[in-house]
Amino acid sequence: MPAIPFNRPYAGRRAAANVEDALRSAHHSGDGPWCEQVAERLSPMVGGGRVFLTPSGTDALELACMALGLGPGDEVIVPSFTFSSTATAVQRTGATVRFADVDPVTLSMGAAQVAERVTSRTRAVIAVHYGGQSSSMAELSALCDAHGLTLVEDAAHALGGTHEGRAYGSFGALACLSFHETKNLSSGEGGALVVNDPRLYERVEQLREKGTDRSKFFRGQVDKYTWVSPGSSFLLGELLAAVLAAGLDDWDLTQARRHAGWDAYESGLASFAADHDITLHPRLPDTRHPAHLYYLLAPSGQARDELLAHCRSRHVLAVSHYQPLAESSEGRRASGPYADECPVTADVSARLLRLPLYGSMTDDEVDSVITTVRAWATDRVVHA
Ligand SMILES: Cc1ncc(COP(=O)(O)O)c(C=O)c1O
């Protein structure tokens, strides 16, 4: 039986034709017609903010941290249960990474966890919407407002999701998207920074254009451009934007496949989960998730490892997820004097398993995954 991969990268059906078109055009670098088209199409999907395409989600996070002018002496609160980039982006500015735990139901850091870490040096909070869901953003926004903290969303999992009646990507002053091949929209590598606070437009433009006012020059607002601020190069090229455009054309199709898989896992594994003390990925109130990933929480770390090995031995390539950043060697360095305990992260990290889920997944593949997972119960009895 061919293996069912954890992820199968998807390029929209028109990707090759679009890339040829982009190659034939006179514009291969960033901010050309393909980039403009994609940024315009993404903006309503994230609530209307201005979208700047970047070479990766990591770059979007770094650009966000630079735009906030973070530096030594500042503290930024991030969850311990996230990808390293959420923290490395802070670390690169010289600011201290302050790790907070996640809520045991949403697996995202909410107001309760952030409140425990706020000090007089806290400048910003980076909220990760795990699996495209979150704790209450209204509560988190209120907490940030009360302490004068800037809210940044790491919405790498959340494109297409809504919460409390709003699109993810619209809650923070800044929000970061990823178009890595594992994400719902992919160009292999790629990302975007969504800017919801207009006061940051100019700074972001200069930072991503190598510290120059070249964007103004292209718009005819200045007659020459020059070095005006710190900066770097954070533009996505036209060829990859052409791939993203094809992915957006197929968005409804791939989202329908993802949701079909997610819903089938939920119903097909319900009795199995109840019988074996397994927690299924919950639907959260006031939230429409974008079917980015589907997880199970096993009753113990040992049970998770057994279930993982069982699936993989039957060619279903389920995987675990984030190891606690707060406990990593670099995490300890990045958090300076703090040694924050994040027990929920440690627990969840040991017990969580993600099932295959991708935009080209077939019903047969989903059925095979469900059958394989359910067979763990019988296999355990046989081998006991
Ligand atoms: C939560 C989260 N933030 C940031 C990133 C980084 O995105 P990228 O791989 O596009 O740099 C990822 C990674 O995939 C992620 O899962």
Q: What is the pLDDT of residues 116-146, one digit of tens each?
A: 999 999 999 999 999 999 999 999 999 999 9
Q: Which helix (H) or strand (E) holds 330?
A: helix 329-334
Cβ of 130 closer than 6 Å to ligand 1, yes or no, is no
Dist. CA 133–CA 135, nearest whole Å = 7
Phi and psi at residue 127, in whole multiples of 5°? Answer: -95, 125
In this structure, is residue 277 part of a structural domain?
Answer: yes
Dist. CA 60–CA 75, nearest whole Å = 19
Q: Residue 384's pLDDT band (boundaries 50, 70, 90)?
A: low
Q: Which of 53, 58, 78, 194 to mutate to test the pocket of ligand 1 (most atoms within 8 A of CB)?
A: 58
Q: Which of 59, 81, 85 to mutate to test the pocket of ligand 1 (most atoms within 8 A of CB)?
A: 85
Dist. CA 331–CA 79, nearest whole Å = 11
**How many Cα atoms sit within 13 Å of 233 on the Cβ side?**
4
Q: Which tokens hold the place of 298? A: 């096993």
Q: How many domains does the chain have?
A: 2
Are 263 and 237 within one domain?
no
Are 258 and 241 within one domain?
no
Per cent of the chain over pLDDT 90 is 97
Query: In the predicted model, what is the mean pLDDT of the chain?
Result: 97
In tens, the pLDDT along 47-80 reads 999 999 999 999 999 999 999 999 999 999 999 9
How far is ligand 1, taken at its centre, from the CA of residue 197, in Å? 22
Range 100-129 average pLDDT: 98
Tell which residue, 353, 183, 370, has the closest CA to residue 266.
370
Are 210 and 78 within one domain?
yes
Q: Are 358 and 317 in contact (CB under 8 A)?
A: no
For residue 241, give Cα distances in angstroms to 64, 209, 252, 335, 339: 20, 17, 18, 36, 41
For residue 235, give Cα distances in angstroms to 25, 77, 192: 18, 27, 9
Cβ of 134 closer than 6 Å to ligand 1, yes or no, is no
Name the residue range of residue 100's domain: 15-249
In this structure, is residue 5 part of a structural domain?
Answer: no
Cβ of 212 closer than 6 Å to ligand 1, yes or no, is no
Are 205 and 279 within one domain?
no
Which residue type occupies 266?
E
Residue 82 CA: which ligand 1 atom is closest? 1
Handedness of CA 273, 276, 281, 284 (dihedral sign): positive
How far is ligand 1, taken at its centre, from the CA of residue 131, in Å? 12
Cβ of 292 closer than 6 Å to ligand 1, yes or no, is no
Dist. CA 118–CA 109, nearest whole Å = 13
How far is ligand 1, taken at its centre, from the CA of residue 83, in Å? 6
Which residue type occupies 277?
D
b/e string for 178-192 if b means 16 or more Cβ within 10 A?
Answer: bbbbbbbbbbebbbb
Cβ of 128 closer than 6 Å to ligand 1, yes or no, is yes
Are 284 and 351 within one domain?
yes
Q: Which residue, 221, 249, 277, sits at the end of a domain?
A: 249
Tell which residue, 141, 193, 192, has the closest CA to residue 163.
141
In this structure, is residue 361 part of a structural domain?
Answer: yes
CA angle 114, 120, 121 (to 5 degrees): 85
Range 266-273 average pLDDT: 98
Cβ of 349 closer than 6 Å to ligand 1, yes or no, is no
Q: Which residue, 205, 231, 249, sits at the end of a domain?
A: 249
Cβ of 123 closer than 6 Å to ligand 1, yes or no, is no
Residue 379 has pLDDT above 80, yes or no: no
Q: Which residue, 249, 277, 310, sits at the end of a domain?
A: 249
In this structure, is residue 245 part of a structural domain?
Answer: yes
Are 261 and 379 within one domain?
yes
Phi and psi at residue 178, in whole multiples of 5°? Answer: -125, 140
Q: Which of 83, 126, 292 to mutate to test the pocket of ligand 1 (most atoms within 8 A of CB)?
A: 83
Q: Residue 370's pLDDT band (boundaries 50, 70, 90)?
A: very high
Cβ of 156 closer than 6 Å to ligand 1, yes or no, is yes
Which residues does residue 50 pair with via DSSP β-bridges, in sequence order?
A: 195
Classify residue 188 as left (phi > 0), alpha (psi -120 to 50) or beta.
Answer: left
